Amino acid sequence: MKKQFSATLALLLLSTGVAAQPKPDTWESDVRQLDARYWKAYNDCDLKAMAAFNANDLEFYHDLGGSSVGKASFIKALKDNICSDPELHIRRAAVGDTVKMYPLRKAGQLYGAVIEGDHAFYNKVRDKPEVMGTLARFTHVLLVKNGVWQVSRVMSYDHRAAPYDNKRIAIVLPAAQLDQLTGTYKTTKKTPFRVTRVGNALSMDVQGIVFAMHPSDASTFFVKERDLTITFARGPDGKGRKLTVREDGDVAEEAMAGN
């Protein structure tokens, strides 16, 4: 699922969906102001306001979620996804000065515009700090229909994980302490987490996905590329008995040794 986009018109009234005739000499400021209103509605999950911006025959193309045709299916996707969980809030923000706009004309007459750029999506779960989730590219085609600007085509693509700024510092543990944590741990569903030592760090293989884990203390390790920590519970002999994986501070998985 996910993310869609925007268009034009300073005098659009969100409460009624009524708009004034766009003027060729003000198209760029109209687009900017409508864009701001559109994304405010998106960030507020105001689906009624968002629907007023979109053409009935809206086409939406997403590089991960497929395509859809029609305003109704687009609004339903928002309702069933980003607006379905009251404990999760998703906020969209444009990235720097990447947003560009271009007019569309025929025989000198303005009939639409293209707006494109980069944007970021931030996730906030309950009372936890907001974190950047993904970055993406967007391209939108806006058309003037019956004197009103409408979003007609939406393309959302090049989705990628936001760069993670790791501030944790790795320490050096004796090889013997690292070796005590190696072995196979299994979840309650018997999914194996295979832990091995690689130099001064540990490596964890989860069904072919491999994470390099660096120690921040004798029992806690972190992944440099994302907010992922692995905490080991040691037995009286120092050997690992259990591991707990946390992502963004939340427990993601637990696994026991020797299962």
Cα–Cα distance between 5 and 157 in angstroms, integer? Answer: 12
pLDDT above 50 for 185: yes
SS3 category, 18:
strand
Q: Sorting pLDDT into bands at 50, 70 and 90, what band is 248?
A: confident
Give residue-wise pLDDT tens across range 249-259.
889 899 999 76
Q: What is the CATH number of domain 175-257?
A: 2.40.128
Q: Provide the pLDDT for residue 105.
A: 94
Looking at the domain 24-161, which fold is it?
A: Nuclear Transport Factor 2; Chain: A, (3.10.450)
Which of 20-24, 133-137, 178-182 is least confident?
A: 20-24
The whole-number average pLDDT for the span 210-239 is: 94
Give residue-wise pLDDT tens across range 15-25.
233 344 455 56
pLDDT above 70 as % of the chain: 90
Which of 5-14, 36-45, 52-61, 207-216 is least confident?
A: 5-14
Q: Where in the chain is the domain with CATH 3.10.450.50?
A: 24-161
Q: Where in the chain is the domain with CATH 2.40.128?
A: 175-257
Q: Provide the pLDDT for residue 24.
A: 53
- Ranges of beta strands (E only) in the chain are 54-62, 66-69, 88-94, 100-106, 109-125, 131-145, 148-161, 183-186, 192-198, 201-206, 209-215, 220-223, 228-234, 240-247, 250-257
In this prediction the pTM is 0.62
